[in-house]
Amino acid sequence: MRTDVRTAPQLRRDLERRGLDVSALGPVGVRPSLPKYISDLWERRHFIWMDSRHRITLQNSRNRLGNLWLILRPLFDAAMYFVIFGMILKADRGIDNFTAYIIIGVLMFRSTMQSLSQSPGTLRVGKPMIRAFSFPRAALPISAQLRESMQMVLTVVVMLAMIVVLPNHEIPRLSWLLVIPIFLMQCMLNLGVSLLMSRVGFILPDVSQVITVLSRVLMYGSGVIFPIDNYLTHPVAGAIIQANPIYQLLHMYRRVLMDGTAPTVASWVILAVWCVGILIIGFVFFWRGEATYGDEQR
């Protein structure tokens, strides 16, 4: 019994002789070039958008309060930290409006931590889709971050309303418009983290156990719930904290919303370098593993 084994070029020629269009055919399980990969993602932008909207609608559909939990969860977090650090531990020294300080820190830090904690499981959750369809796998973490960004818009609206309504009331100022570019930079940072950690979580599934500890380190090292500058005087440690993108992110939000002034040029530069750098590194790192994401052993 003879087995008919033909190479890909031979198969293409056979199909062309039969009058079939083979221009859209390509090898399966092979990483495309980076420009082709970006082009394929752009062609599927409508799918990514519709998938994000559909999943965010279904996310809390089984709960009685539905999507209201998108607002209640961050509010409960902010209230808990305010009671512990503001009322019990009295960590509000030197801050005129500790309520706004806590609300801004907790709510905006939480969104980036969502990207860090959930992205290692993105490819595992999307395994059925990966095995059933041919598409750029980066669409999965991009879709996840698009959902998170849509939720962040609601979080920002709630945050602004809370710092206006709750004592000591912040008054809306022209500087609040700078929240928009800061928010967009945070979305870039979150996407870069998601792409990077999606592949790391695929290679090392146990990394999700380490992220819980890392999240705590970032929370206490980024001035989320107390002014870290009041407790840290060592110059080297201070320089490390200043280079932390999450610290700069929260500092910029607070300066715009609480102080009514624009962030310094240094803050913009540090945050921009982190956002662009992590996004590029994360995307290229994810693309390099494209051909492995459907492996059965994973």
Domain chopping of the chain, boundaries: 33-288
Give how far Cα 150 sits from Cα of 119, 123, 182, Å.
16, 21, 15
Largest CA distance in the chain: 86
CA distance 182 to 162: 19
Q: Which residue has the higher pLDDT, 88 or 8?
A: 88
In the structure encoding, which two tokens stand for residue 266, read together? 């240094």
Q: Which residue has the tokens 């290679």?
A: 203
**In the predicted model, is pLDDT for residue 27 greater than 60?**
no
Q: Which helix (H) or strand (E) holds 221?
A: helix 207-221
The predicted structure's pLDDT at residue 130: 83
The predicted structure's pLDDT at residue 184: 95
- Answer yes or no: are the C-beta atoms of 176 and 85 closer than 8 Å: no
Give how far Cα 286 sits from Cα of 22, 179, 210, 230, 236, Å.
28, 29, 20, 39, 33
- The reported pTM is 0.82
Percent of all residues in the chain with a pLDDT value above 90, rounded to a whole number:
33
